[in-house]
Amino acid sequence: MEYFVNIKDAMIRYHVIHSKVRNPRLEFRGGKFQLIIPESYPDHERIIRKHKRWIYNRHIRMQRLLSASKDLELDHSRSEEELKGLVRTCVLSMGKELGVQPKAVRFRKMKTKWGSCSSRSNLNFNTYMRYLPGELIEYIVYHEMVHLIEPNHSPDFWKHIRARFKDPKYYEEQLSNHWFLIQEEINKQIPARNGRASIP
């Protein structure tokens, strides 16, 4: 069922979905807010009241992403295999530049991350990267390659990043905006958790 809640200056629409879940949960899916509760849950409004601040902050963030993504388009021309070839090429060339190489490069669909670097020096990449412009793909790959040198987001890590990408904040924002578009397009196939994907 559809409901509305008034928080500060925003009238926020949300859907209540009864499901065979143990505990209630709040989520934004494709920019839409929904509350999923057990079938016999007595008072969904109590959950809304308890989490008003989170709901409002998430709503404002979604509105900003919606506005920022209006002029963006996803690249539908690249196949998954072409993405894999591009990423592997980047890994080889960037590895020579940085003096490191991963033990393995893997690909899979991920719900909240563009990529990751394991403690065993394995790199994982989200296959939804295929929809991104080439420069954003390069940024993600370089980001994960630098993690082979600096595991954490330390000052030295960002120093490495800025050596190739002068304004990391720009690329991070572009990734958030593109992820919002991807969520809208594939929202029936992959549930959104936080409204964006991150690069750990």
Render pLDDT for 187-199 as a digit per residue (tens, 0 to 9).
Answer: 545 444 444 444 4
**End residue of a domain, out of 48, 68, 88:** 68
Q: Which residue segment(s) compose the domain that 121 sits in? A: 80-186
Q: Is residue 173 part of a domain?
A: yes
- Given the DSSP bridges, would you call strands 32-38 and 25-29 parallel, antiparallel or unpaired? antiparallel
Rounded to 10°, the helix 134-147/155-164 angle is: 140
Tell me the helices (H) and strands (E) count for the chain, helix number first.
6, 7
Q: Is residue 154 part of a domain?
A: yes
Instruction: Indicate if 87 and 13 belong to the same structural domain.
Output: no
Instruction: Indicate if 59 and 111 belong to the same structural domain.
Output: no
The CATH code of the domain that includes 122 is 3.30.2010.10
Instruction: Indicate if 87 and 177 belong to the same structural domain.
Output: yes
Task: Locate 38 and state its tokens.
Answer: 């057990």
Instruction: Indicate if 56 and 139 belong to the same structural domain.
Output: no
Q: Dihedral of CA 33/38/39/43: which sign?
A: negative
Q: Dihedral of CA 168/170/172/174: which sign?
A: negative
Domain count along the chain: 2
Give the H or E element holding residue 123: strand 122-126
Closest C-alpha among 137, 24, 46 to residue 90 = 137
Instruction: Indicate if 63 and 129 belong to the same structural domain.
Output: no
> Which pLDDT tens digit goes with each residue over 80-90?
999 999 999 99
> Which pLDDT tens digit goes with each residue over 128-180?
999 999 999 999 999 999 999 999 999 999 999 999 999 999 999 899 888 88
Instruction: Indicate if 116 and 166 belong to the same structural domain.
Output: yes
